Amino acid sequence: MSADREDVSSRQRAVMRELLQLSRRFRAHAHHLHPELTLPAHAVLAQLASRGRQQAGDLVGMLGVSKSTVSRELSDLQRSGLVTRSLDRYDNRIQVVDITERGREVLEQSDRRMTAQVARRTRDWRPEEIQAFHALLRRYNEGGSPAT
């Protein structure tokens, strides 16, 4: 392997370690964002808030998680009054999910807390650094699933 290729590989491993650290930090502090929301529950609410009513099965692909994870989160969210589930009016085999007004409020509270955390962690950054960080994260996230 050439020195340049080793250097790139070393940087990619360093990025992977930082992403793992970020993931651990989010999981460890998720309960501070909102006591009623896990990170997967937040993701479900965010999808419903941005895209509107969805078939429960479609959330699996959108979120890149297992059907059992979505099912568990939807049950918890419905019990908490944050989503409603109903049968599709044209096909009773299909379950349709929608966010409730209370779900929107809880999501907004969680988003405000997360935004405040980001603001605190980046308060010494220049605006162009925040913009570059956002652009790189978006590019990375648009790259597909972790396995690809």
Q: What is the pTM of this model?
A: 0.78
pLDDT at 73 over 80: yes
**What integer pLDDT is reported at residue 148 of this predicted model?**
47
Q: Please give the Cα distance from 45 to 32 (Å, whole number).
A: 17
- Structural domain boundaries of the chain? 1-33, 36-141
pLDDT at 52 over 70: yes
Mean pLDDT estimate for the chain? 87
If we measure between CA atoms, which residue out of 110, 98, 139, 146 comes closest to residue 29? Answer: 110
Residue found by looking up tokens 């308060």 in the block: 123
Q: Is residue 114 within 8 Å of residue 105, measured between CB atoms?
A: no
pLDDT tier, 28 (very low <50, low <70, confident <90, very high otherwise): confident
Average pLDDT on 33-48 reads: 86
Give the distance, in angstroms, between the CA of residue 14 and the centroid of all CA atoms in the same chain: 23
Average pLDDT on 58-84 reads: 90
* Domain made up of 36-141: CATH architecture: Orthogonal Bundle (1.10)
pLDDT at 36 over 80: no
3-state DSSP assignment of residue 1: coil
What distances in angstroms separate CA 99 from CA 8, 32, 55, 74, 82, one per listed residue?
A: 43, 22, 12, 10, 6
